[in-house]
Amino acid sequence: MKSKLFVPASRPELFEKALNSQADALSFDLEDAVLEMHKDQARQQLNDFLQSLQPESQKKTIIVRINDMGTAWFEDDLQACMVDAVDMINIPKIESSEQMKDFFVAFDKAASALDKPPAILVNIETALALINAAAIAATDRRIAGLQLGLGDLFEPLGIRRYEPATVHHVMLNLRLAAGSAGIYAYDSAYANIGNSEGFRQEAMLAKSLGFLGKTCIHPSQIAIANEVFAPSQEEIDWARKIVESADQASHGAYVLDGQMIDVPFINKAKMILRQIGQ
């Protein structure tokens, strides 16, 4: 899931275009992208579209970002996601493991009739959520990842959104929190659509910190995310060399090209090769 494109659920004319894009995943948004007066209509339009999809022929990961548990739309949004085509539900405004447990009570009730319920992607987008991120991540094995929301996190606190050192600090904290639970971290949106180089630099930073991919809010950002998060040829060659040497090694730790190689490096190499289907 190198790239994930946001699609407002109130814009059904964009649904098919999004399906035909090069994004690995689509995140249909019922939350911030939809005005209150249009919430119910957007939910119905999206549900109709999701019902029309054939999961077995769908190559993209389908995600729905619902409204948070404190809203009047939460339960209806959650129920609308109980469609075979939905791979993942993105839940916003979670700030504690206790809230996460409350979410799963509602989730279990809504998903009771499904053979394969959607996985869960949790937004970390407040100061309290960031402090509690490790506990949130460890709440339930059905949580697939944590997603960073830098706009929601920084703007209310008066923190400069595009300050690289600040972004790096928060990204690292989120990645470690996700890693402590053995799940992935996914990067935030980049609202300055006209600054493609800024998007690229932030995506490169996220990749260097072990993030899975980056959110795109405009189709022009998709190709950049796909390029940045795809393993480079240099990384692929390194991974192949490590895996081949590990197969021939007589010790758990050994030296290759002047570098000590042991289990963490071998696992990383195997992960890179899995990304390219090897």
Binding residues: 65, 125, 152
Q: How far is CA 114 from the centre of its chain?
A: 23
Please enumerate in sequence order all residues whose Cβ is within 8 A of that of 68, keeping only pairs 6 or more positions apart, or say none: 31, 74, 91, 92, 93, 94
Residue numbers in the known binding site for Mg(2+) are: 125, 152
- Structure tokens of 209? 């910190």
Residue numbers in the known binding site for substrate are: 65, 125
Query: How far is it, in rounded angstroms, from Cα 30 to Cα 109?
Result: 20
* DSSP state, residue 83: S
Looking only at the bridges linking them, the beta strands covering 214-216 and 254-256 are unpaired
- DSSP helix/strand/coil, 256: strand
CB environment 12-39: b (16+ within 10 A), e (fewer): eebbeebbebebbbbbbbbbebbeeeeb
